[in-house]
Copies of this chain bind each other. A is one copy, B any other.
């Protein structure tokens, strides 16, 4: 078990609240601050995480089918295992639903959770089912890890990389909020996130020093990783891979595409700090596209550049205050 609060938490209102709770708990709290908690049991090291998904906070029924609600909740939770390069082992599902909810809704949510769990190669081992004022899908995920990749290991000189492309889920949200139906590719990125277990394993095999999954947007999550590691970074925003749907929505919003993507939330891609010297050729062999977007530096915070010109980095996504 790691030291109390070994990994410092990043900025943001949600993190201020968690920090205050951890202070109150003192010796009863251990090792908060990573995407997963780590537990030693016998000769095994486990990674565990819990993720609450609540109707009208994390999703709306008008946007997603019950199957997608279940899939997305489970994939989002499993993504926390990818963030520390742990192998998915087991999922506990606690489901809350209004008393008059049709059985068919519960079955479809259960099917969606089951599909995400099957894709990850894990099993549903337990759960809870209760009445609730709205749909509540809560997943506790447990993984096995030899040498977990934490948030806190980034060092000056490391190369910053990101998987996939960013801003697709935010493009879907922007369309829904404007009363439009999102494009199918944007909707798919929101409704069917893919936890990056294969990429996580590959990046860990390259000696990744620090990793985080992008749930608060690259802008927010990069700050979490840097705060945990006690370092700063240089970010080349023109290198950030932007999802094509995000490029379209950014134009409608009158925002630079990179800024739209950096402020996106719930991309469930991975941001990692790799040792210097990793080649483009090696990165091309990853199971998903991996882009080099910057480098870890001495100091604090992020210096962002667009084709070499300094730019201001927009903030991340605050789950506690945000509307879905």
A129–chain B nearest beta-carbon distance, Å: 6
In this complex, the member of A51, A90, A103 whose beta carbon has the largest number of chain B beta carbons within 10 angstroms is: A90
Chain A, interface size: which category?
Answer: 35 or more
Query: Is the Cβ of B321 less than 8 Å from the Cβ of A125?
Result: no
Contact with B along A92-118 (1 / 0, CB 8 A): 111010010001001100110010011
Please tell me if the beta carbons of B54 and A126 are within 8 angstroms of each other in the complex.
Answer: no
Q: Chain B interface: which of A31-39, A152-160, A197-205, A303-311?
A: A31-39
Q: Specify which of A42, A106, A124, A131 lies most central, judged by the most chain B CB atoms within 10 Å of its CB.
A: A131
- By beta carbon, the residue of chain B nearest A318 is B131
A149 at the A/B interface (Cβ < 8 Å)? Answer: no
- Asked if A128 is at the interface (CB within 8 A of a chain B CB), the reply is yes
In angstroms, Cα B124 to Cα A31, docked, is 9
* Residues in chain B near residue A133, CB distance under 8 A: 54, 56, 133-134
Q: Does A319 contact B (CB under 8 A)?
A: yes
**For residue A29, which residue of chain B has the nearest CB?**
B124
A75 to B90, CA, bound (A): 23
By beta carbon, the residue of chain B nearest A49 is: B126
- Tell whether, in the assembled complex, residue A138 and residue B30 are in contact, meaning their CB atoms are under 8 Å apart: no
| A99 touching B39, Cβ below 8 Å | no
Question: CB distance B320 to A130 under 8 Å?
Answer: yes
Instruction: Check if B320 sits within 8 Å of A57, measured CB to CB.
Output: no
Contact A130 B24 (CB under 8 A): no
Whether B30 lies near A130 (C-beta < 8 A) is: no
Q: Is A180 interfacial (CB-CB < 8 Å)?
A: no
Q: Which listed residue, B31, B319, B320, touches A125 by the CB 8 Å rule?
A: B31
Question: Looking at the complex, which of A12-20, A169-177, A234-242 is the stretch in contact with chain B?
Answer: A12-20
On whether A20 and B103 interact (CB within 8 A), knowing A54-B131, A92-B49, A129-B320, the answer reads yes
CA distance A128 to B37 in the complex (A): 12
